Structure 1
Amino acid sequence: MAPPSDDARDSPASTTPIAVKPAAPAPPAALDPVISTWPVVLDPGIPTLPAVLDPVELTKQIGLLPALQWPWGVPQEVRLELLRWHAADRCTLEIAFPAASGWDRVIGKVYATDRPDVYDVMEGLARAGFGPEAEFSIPRPIAYLPSLRLLLQERVEGMPAQKTFKLGDDRERAVAAERCARWLARFHTVAPPLGRVTDVEELLRRSERKRRSMMEEGGALTAKSEQLFERLRAARSALAAVPMCAGHGDYAHNQVIFVEGRTVTWDWDVYDIADPTRDVASFIVTLKRLALKSFGWVRALDDAAEVFLKTYLDVRGCSSVAAHLPFYKAAYCLWEAHWEVKTKRRLGWGERARAMLDEGLHTLDGVK
């Protein structure tokens, strides 16, 4: 099965459940010092979610796994914590269960549609050298339960890259940017290409859909999004044909965790095959949006972005990336502006959308 379209990926992380079932009372701290309780989301768009949230059914399904995949035995008890919910699309949970050394935990992701392909891709990456023992790795895929549409994977404990970019000093940000770049360069070099092909024409089609969506807001956003899209179309003719490679599809600071001796990238829902510049641009532009949200200036993290780009180019030596980067960065600026308009999640979304559109236009200055 191919990964979902970009439009599906755009479904916002919801903060208002469709329906809410009160969580069970928290157990005494002495019995459960690590597991917190959250309201349980009931989403009819994810039909297997009620079964996943049923401890009896979840325990039964996990108990059917072979010991090679699930070495902990049949759980005597499971407790769940909601981590992230995308309405009618997917829901990410932490699943805790008693183990010999206390409470053990894994990450579960339940999908609206059947997604065994995500597990298969993660298995392929592990075999290609991105297993949990590698310096550049992914979370260990544990199992996929088709009856629940549930992916189980390793819970990686470490420092989120996003936290370093938000709270670290310049040196810490530079180290983080270098580690993220080295991970991506390794991935683009050795990972097996799988999934649908996302070429320039597909990227332009998605950009046009986002531009049309933004036109509904009217005002300056309409004019700016139209101007940026037309310049994107004009810049497309300058792009040369390049060898494509495995793509993450959504590579960003919030997809990376730093562990001692290990850099881990997660969230493989939209893997594909693409121009490597696409993933490079995605990381740089999402850093710009983080800078805008956290520091009020779209270029506040540009020093870290420069370290990221220089490291990637030094390691991989792909000359086409530098040549194609303005186009892809401008496209992602349009996409980030669209995200602000679509979700309207925080005060000032209009100003942030305008800033991202302006940055996209600036990125294309000088591109013929």
Structure 2
Amino acid sequence: EQYRIVRCKPGKASFLAEEGCVLRYSLQLEHAESKERQAALVLARIFATAEEAEIYVRQRLNPLVAQMRGRPEIVPFAHPVAFIDDLNMAVSVFPIDGELPALIASTDHQQMTEFFQKALGDDGDMPMQIEDCTIEAGHYGRQHRCVLRYEVNGRLRNAANADHGNPQPMQQVVYGKIAADDRCKIVGAVLSSLQWRLRQVQTKRQFRLPRIRGYWPDTGLILLESIPGKPQISEMLQAHIASADAAEQPSIPTNLSLTEALQDCARVASALHKVNIQFSETRTFQSELDDLQTYMPAVQQFSLALAMQIQHATRRLQSYAETTAELPVCFSHGDYTYTQLIFDENTCGLVDFDTVCQAEPALDLGQFLAYMRLAARKAEDGILAKGGEPIALDVDALSEQFIEMYIHTAELGSKDAEQLLARVAAYEVISLMRITLHSWQKMKSSRLEVAAALLEERVAALPIVK
């Protein structure tokens, strides 16, 4: 009764077919007396029946409540978990997540401060006396995974500071990743191996990978350093497409061009594919198609027109793929998009190794091109929606520049290059199919419209098999 909800903003949603629907709500709470406001995130899951929702609360959520005793996140709430009968809904206050129970420990201020003292306090380069840390959810868009952002505050401990008796204040930003499976442990092993295997990447800027700052086996939490920069490709596409008199131009490093950035992305991909790391998980062309088909029963039930488009695209793609030769599998990123490559004035970095696998190199390259096309089309549509006149951008030419640099860096002969191009075209369509289905699943109508249109265009561009 001491708090009231002054705002409720629905956030990310994901339709899981027979498993129900997952939703997020951002709340603004106000204290009745002080009028102070604070934010809260509520997780919700809708089930087919009230009985299923009640069982989920009883078996998956209620057992976690005891771990939250004394935590400030739940102070405003009479009950941190609840069952809403009329909606067949189970709800909980973040960080109570029935799919990620380890989130509770990973967001506990005291536990994490103590853990950071162990992880960073004895850092050979910059040992710290940890004083406190702030914690916030970063990327939390998927089930079974979460990225946490930690600002770790303390004082630098070294001989010089000790002499003066006044240790220098210091802050580090560290990212934590947590998952329901053991993928974070795999990420740690991969990054440890890549740190020295990718030292010789011939990018125009100094190439960097995030260093591992710690691993907590009990929770599966891996801590990674923050490397400078941010994804720039989308903003550079927007800057090229925007009219000259656009009111807002994106902030882009002055010494970075779109062509240079794409060439660096190609060089990194080529170097990654040459790394001799073996994985048991292999993603083949057929396994990618099979995975997409798992979405189809629900799509056919609720969106017949989209289901027909996907099935038509699948048939055309299969006919085309049969005329191409598979490439040897290699170590692959698994989700190689422009958002995973970050740039600043002097460095270029690669992040997010959650999906590493063995695959044809065309899987990474097709994924990159599909997302680049999507970003360019969204930029065009955004300018049109504001009444502007977008400048034409030849995305095909940009795609060719990217692939040509990859072929050059990978030192492929003409026959191998031709084979690669054929497979990249196929995998680009697969990526667009996946983007389309994920957009439908996450109820992103505008993104779905753009992705479906691009998919139709790229399928039509495939050579017709007689």
Q: Aligning the two structures, in what range does the TM-score lie when normalised by the shorter sequence?
A: 0.7 to 0.9
Report deviation, 1:206: 1.4
Report deviation, 1:19: 4.1
Report deviation, 1:308: 1.3
Determine the structure 2 residue equivalent to 1:158.
229
More divergent stretch after superposition (142-151 vs 72-81): 72-81
CA contact (8 A) 2:139 2:147 kept: yes
Change (3 A) 1:217 1:145: same
Mapping of residues 1-368 of structure 1, within 5 Å: 15-16=24-25, 17-19=41-43, 41-65=95-119, 67-68=122-123, 71-73=126-128, 75-99=130-154, 100-114=168-182, 115-130=184-199, 135-169=206-240, 172-296=257-381, 301-316=395-410, 317=412, 318-319=416-417, 320-345=419-444, 347-367=445-465
- Kindly provide the amino acid, as one letter, of the partner of residue 105 in structure 2: A
- Kindly provide the amino acid, as one letter, of the partner of residue 131 in structure 2: Q
- 1-structure distance, mates of 2:124, 2:100: 25
- 1-structure distance, mates of 2:149, 2:185: 19
CA contact (8 A) 2:198 2:271 kept: no
- 2-structure distance, mates of 1:159, 1:274: 27
CA contact (8 A) 2:146 2:177 kept: yes
**SS across alignment from 1:85:** coil
Q: Deviations over 1:321-352 (max 9, x none)?
A: 1121221111112111112111123x434422
Change (3 A) 1:311 1:14: farther
- 2-structure distance, mates of 1:299, 1:353: 18
Determine the structure 1 residue equivalent to 2:162.
none
Change (3 A) 1:349 1:22: farther
- 1-structure distance, mates of 2:295, 2:330: 25
Determine the structure 2 residue equivalent to 1:4.
none
Report deviation, 1:273: 0.6
- 1-structure distance, mates of 2:398, 2:178: 34
Query: Which protein, 1 or 2, shows the higher relative CO under an 8 Å CA cutoff with sep ≥ 6?
Result: 1
**SS across alignment from 2:336:** coil
- 2-structure distance, mates of 1:13, 1:258: 34
Change (3 A) 1:70 1:111: farther
**SS across alignment from 2:137:** strand
Determine the structure 2 residue equivalent to 1:30.
none
Gaps of 5+ in 1: 1-6, 25-38
Report deviation, 1:120: 0.6
Report deviation, 1:82: 2.0
CA contact (8 A) 1:188 1:247 kept: yes
More divergent stretch after superposition (318-327 vs 77-86): 318-327
**SS across alignment from 1:120:** helix
Q: Deviations over 1:171-221 (max 9, x none)?
A: 822222111111111111235243411112212211322444432333431
Q: How many pairs align?
A: 343
TM-score, normalised relative to structure 1: 0.82
Determine the structure 2 residue equivalent to 1:28.
none
Report deviation, 1:78: 0.7
CA contact (8 A) 2:209 2:227 kept: no
CA contact (8 A) 2:234 2:376 kept: no
- 1-structure distance, mates of 2:97, 2:324: 43
Higher strand share: 2
TM-score, normalised relative to structure 2: 0.66
- Kindly provide the amino acid, as one letter, of the partner of residue 348 in structure 1: S
Report deviation, 1:128: 1.1
CA contact (8 A) 1:247 1:272 kept: yes
- 1-structure distance, mates of 2:195, 2:108: 31
Change (3 A) 1:102 1:166: farther
Gaps of 5+ in 2: 1-15, 26-40, 45-70, 75-92, 155-167, 242-255, 383-391
Report deviation, 1:359: 2.5
Report deviation, 1:166: 4.1
**SS across alignment from 2:149:** strand
CA contact (8 A) 1:188 1:246 kept: yes
CA RMSD in angstroms comes to: 3.2
CA contact (8 A) 1:18 1:43 kept: no
CA contact (8 A) 1:329 1:363 kept: no
CA contact (8 A) 1:42 1:50 kept: yes
- Kindly provide the amino acid, as one letter, of the partner of residue 359 in structure 2: A
